[in-house]
Amino acid sequence: MRRQLPPWAMGLAIAPLGFYYGFVSTATPILLAAHHVSVGRISEVSAIAFSPTFWAFLLCPVLDVRFSKRTYALFFAGMSAVCLGVSTLLSANLVAYTAVLTTGCAAAVMFGNTHQGWMPDVIQDKHYSHVGASTNVANLGAAGLFATLTIVLVRKLPALPAAGLLGLTVMLPTVMLFYIPLPAKAARGVAETFSTFLHDLYVVCKRPGCILGAVCFLSPTACFALSNLFSGTGADFHTEEYRVTALTGIGVAVACSLGCLVGIWFCGRYPRRMVYILTGFGGATAALGLIITPHTLPWFAAGVLGYTFCQGINYTAFSALCYEIVGPGNPLASTQMALLAACANLPISYMTAVDGHFHTTHGLAGMLGVDALCSAAVGTLLLVVFHRMGYLGKKAEVVLAVG
């Protein structure tokens, strides 16, 4: 019998998604800035490239039919790897670069939702936070490491070998997929699934747990959109490219991974929804700190790492909350996980565009200020409303569990 990965290791198998996100959020601003593309234009490219994170859920019913989760995961990981490699050859052509990058992101999102829809059927409730943490160590932590690798390879190697090595790196973690058990449930037909999609989507959306989760995720209170733009603001902080690469690559990977692990402690002691919202205040504090402190490398590093540490805690809370909402034995697991992820990714996309616009019109302080204001104001509103509804106490977990 093939050995099975422990629950925490199953989460690490989502690393290809983290690699791709790291390429879009960190490597892309550096690569485009080298071609003298403005921060505002970079934010537009990033927003478009990330757009599949909130519309690709319309394609996700196919993940719950016919073929196994492992087959779908391998296929979409391969597709994203090819697009990532090709995009590195097109950075001088902004239109083609954006198109290929967006296609690859759609494939990466499909891969990620396959993995996430797979997990509730093979892990227990007591392991949700642990798998959520390791998932995000692989997602956000690997993103930083891959971004650093991208810049090193692109700068040191000829274009084609660099593209090939980056594509192979994306595929490498998929070996772990062969050591995750498959769900024991009958596959549905494609025609059956898509013919009932709207009805199934309605059933999913009307559940109290899903509604409450969607309200949290759709708001900009804890979307951490600045992570997509920090690597393009080195000039604002008088910092050289290689230092920005190290900070937003390896530095972010370490800080985010630590935040993910600390998130296990918080999620084990407080309602996951409360943890999710409160991390937004931590991010807002870090953003405001970057406005009032000197624009030098040490303060830049402190602000970025503090912001990313809060992001890691947030993502553990997000994943654990999603697993809880979906639960085991859900025939629409991948679709529902995709829907919840779409809700969370929509504010990342629109706030990336908003933050970039304010950088163009009001400079660095405008970008940081509007991001912090949105996080703090909307977060406060959600806390007040949820408190009055009685959803921030211990009963909140029960509501989500039975929703």
Contact 158/275 with Cβ under 8 angstroms?
no
Residue 138: CB atoms within 10 A of its CB come to 25
pTM above 0.85, yes or no: no
Integer Cα distance of 147 and 249 in angstroms: 5
Q: Is 364 exposed, middle or buried (0-12, 13-18, 19+ CB in 10 A)?
A: middle
CA nearest neighbour of 235 among 37, 84, 28: 37
Compute the 3-state secondary structure of the chain and give helix, strand, coil in percent, each to the nearest 5: 85, 0, 15
pLDDT per residue over 191-215, tens digit each? Answer: 555 556 666 666 666 666 667 777 7
Q: Which residues have CB under 8 Å from 19's CB, separation 6+? A: 84, 142, 143, 146, 169, 170
Concatenating the DSSP letter of every residue in 144-197 gives HHHHHHHHHHHHHS-HHHHHHHHHHHHHGGGGGGGGSPPP--PPBPHHHHHHTH
Q: Which residues of the chain have pLDDT under 50?
A: 186, 394-403
Question: What was the pLDDT predicted at 199?
Answer: 67
Residue 379: CB atoms within 10 A of its CB come to 23
* Run of H or E including 225: none
Integer Cα distance of 186 and 396 in angstroms: 32
Contact 299/271 with Cβ under 8 angstroms?
no
Q: Is 186 exposed, middle or buried (0-12, 13-18, 19+ CB in 10 A)?
A: exposed
Specify the fold of 7-174+193-402: Growth Hormone; Chain: A; (1.20.1250)
Question: What was the pLDDT predicted at 50?
Answer: 82
Question: What was the pLDDT predicted at 402?
Answer: 34
Integer Cα distance of 243 and 238 in angstroms: 10
Q: Which residues have CB under 8 Å from 273's CB, separation 6+? A: 212, 213, 216, 317, 321, 386, 391, 392, 396, 400
**Each residue of 212-250: b (16+ CB within 10 Å) or e?**
bbbebbbbbbbbbbbbbbbbbbbebbebeeeebbbbbbb
Q: Is 279 exposed, middle or buried (0-12, 13-18, 19+ CB in 10 A)?
A: buried
Amino acid at 285: T
In angstroms and rounded to an integer, the radius of gyration of the C-alpha atoms of the chain is: 20
Among left, alpha and beta (phi > 0; psi -120 to 50; other), residue 294 is beta
Q: Give Cα separations from 179 to 17, 246, 250, 318 (angstroms).
A: 18, 33, 28, 25
Q: Is 316 exposed, middle or buried (0-12, 13-18, 19+ CB in 10 A)?
A: buried
Hunting for tokens 């920090």 — which residue is that? 230
Amino acid at 129: S
Question: What was the pLDDT predicted at 403?
Answer: 34
Sign of the Cα torsion 345, 347, 353, 355 reads negative
